[in-house]
Amino acid sequence: MYQYNDSDTICAISTAPGCGGIAVIRVSGPDAISIINKIWRGKPLSSVGTHTAHLGTITDPENPTEPLDSGVATVFRAPGTFTGEDVVEISVHGSVWIQRELINLLIRTGCRLAQPGEFTRRAFANGKLDLAQAEAVADVIAATSRSAHRLASSQMRGDFSKRIGTLREKLIEIASLLELELDFSEEDVEFASRIHLAELAKNLHTEISSLAATFSTGSALKNGIPVAIVGEPNAGKSTLLNALLNESRAIVSDIPGTTRDTVEDTIEIDGVMYRFIDTAGLRETSDHVENLGIGRSFEAIERARIVIWLVTPDISQEKLTELHTEIKKHLAEGATLLTVLNKTDLLASPTDLPHPLQNIFTESQEPVTTEKSTQRPILISASTGHNIDRLTQALHTLSGTNDSAGADLMVTNARHYEALTLAAESLARVLDGLRANLSGDFIAQDLRETIHHLSAITGTITTTDLLTSIFQNFCIGK
């Protein structure tokens, strides 16, 4: 059970688990400095200034002749700290034994072990961060690519919160005009025309809907863009995965049906993380286990943002049409199908292609995206590496990340997306009410709902259950 008491002084290891050069133990709370003083041998920390570091020795008062370790204590005095409380961070040698003993010593001296995310929760409670910024702290820590780090850093700085705050203020302005109208309803006073209010509400609805629409790209940038590699057995899917990763990640064999389950790995391309999924070959088979793998191949297609359909020069027109129909049937809405011709190293030239393929495979053409597929495939050789760079460039273009390169205001959090979606829905009801000339009471209620949903994003309105759900997923020392 998650328990929270801001009168306690808490402690935790803030560095990664395990043994390293140094480890940092963080202590925060009203008694942080006095508790450390009890085990500190060096300059008394009660007399030092804020944001200063001091060398000393850590000693158990019950065993003063055997110091635990030497280290550096950095003192941060409230309110100018991350949590808004007195904070001391102790840097010691990274021995797992030293870390464990120091935590035990702090607990015996008056600290309590911090709950997951409790340092950040205290920062929120003390007004150092709003809720959206607090959630971004975890995203910064978890960022695995330049684009994910940029988005999380922007949110932690408060850029996203400012945008939400501006939208909320505009909604409150509309609501106040309606409330005034209700207060003076008996005197037949209109503080703003319904046409003007409808125009304001329409503009806000567009803004909120547009912001919510960035979630697809924002989530992909945060978590890695899923790319499924599909095709017939022996089309070279595993070879392509190894070529993209520049390592032997998947087993390569001439025997059809070698890959019987999905194989996943990630790589950063131009600052964006991609999650490549090698799949079982698509074919009819009586092998029960292989059929399970083929089923997972279609599941991978359904989850992917981009599907690389790998074909070979010997594919028949009938099989080409059959697979194209089947793959598109499983393609998710908004996903892109990129057709790639592999094993071109076996051809003297593209003109050697079977006649049914000559019209759609030409080396000079760049991929052109339609709603769900690319009509001009890329010619590659996964075994020699020919045109792999061109394929990665096409992936970068098709992922939509080029258009978002300078856009830091994107929704990356599912909770924020849900709140924006609900806000857009309630604001749509406001628009319908204004157009139908409904009573201000009904319209005001929908406006209040809209404001409530936006307020939940930044934590202007919160519940204990919501905070518990968010912070319990943080690491202990953050």
Show the domains of the chain with their CATH numbers.
Answer: 10-130 (3.30.1360.120), 137-214+410-459 (1.20.120.430), 219-398 (3.40.50.300)
As beta bridge partners, residue 93 has 22
- Positions at the binding site for Mg(2+): 238, 259
130 in Cβ contact with 161 (< 8 Å) = yes
As beta bridge partners, residue 26 has 12, 89
- Closest-CA residue to 231 (of 211, 259, 199, 212): 259
Taking the C-alpha atoms of residue 8 and residue 216, their distance in angstroms, rounded to an integer, is 41
Which of the 8 DSSP states describes residue 214?
Answer: T
pTM of the model: 0.77
453: region left, alpha or beta (phi > 0 left; psi from -120 to 50 alpha): alpha
- 3-state SS of the chain: helix, strand, coil percent to 5? 45, 15, 35
Residue with tokens 């030239």: 349
84 in Cβ contact with 443 (< 8 Å) = no
- Positions at the binding site for K(+): 234, 253, 255, 258
Residue type, 151: L
pLDDT tens-digit profile, the chain (478 residues): 445 567 899 999 999 888 889 999 999 999 999 999 999 999 999 999 999 999 999 999 988 889 999 999 999 999 999 999 999 999 999 999 999 999 999 999 999 999 999 999 999 999 999 999 999 998 998 888 888 899 999 999 999 999 999 999 999 888 887 776 665 555 555 556 778 888 999 999 999 999 999 998 888 888 889 999 988 888 888 889 888 888 655 444 454 445 445 678 888 888 888 999 888 777 666 666 666 777 888 888 898 899 999 988 888 888 888 888 888 888 888 888 998 888 888 876 665 666 556 655 544 444 444 444 445 678 889 989 988 999 988 888 887 765 554 456 899 999 999 999 999 999 999 999 988 888 878 888 999 999 999 999 998 876 676 677 777 777 777 7
What is residue 287's predicted lDDT score, i.e. its pLDDT? 65
What is residue 196's predicted lDDT score, i.e. its pLDDT? 84
- Positions at the binding site for (6S)-5-formyl-5,6,7,8-tetrahydrofolate: 26, 89, 128, 478
CB-count burial class (<10 Å; 0-12, 13-18, 19+) for 332 = middle
What is residue 190's predicted lDDT score, i.e. its pLDDT? 54
- Positions at the binding site: 26, 89, 128, 234-239, 253-259, 278-281, 478
Tell me the torsion sign for CA atoms 329, 334, 339, 340: negative
Taking the C-alpha atoms of residue 74 and residue 476, their distance in angstroms, rounded to an integer, is 20
- Positions at the binding site for GTP: 234-239, 253-259, 278-281
Give the contacts of 331 (CB within 8 A, at least 6 positions apart): 301, 302, 307, 337, 372
For residue 334 the two structure tokens come to 């908004």
353 in Cβ contact with 322 (< 8 Å) = no
Q: How many Å from the N-terminal Cα to the C-terminal Cα in the chain? A: 18
For residue 88 the two structure tokens come to 């001391």
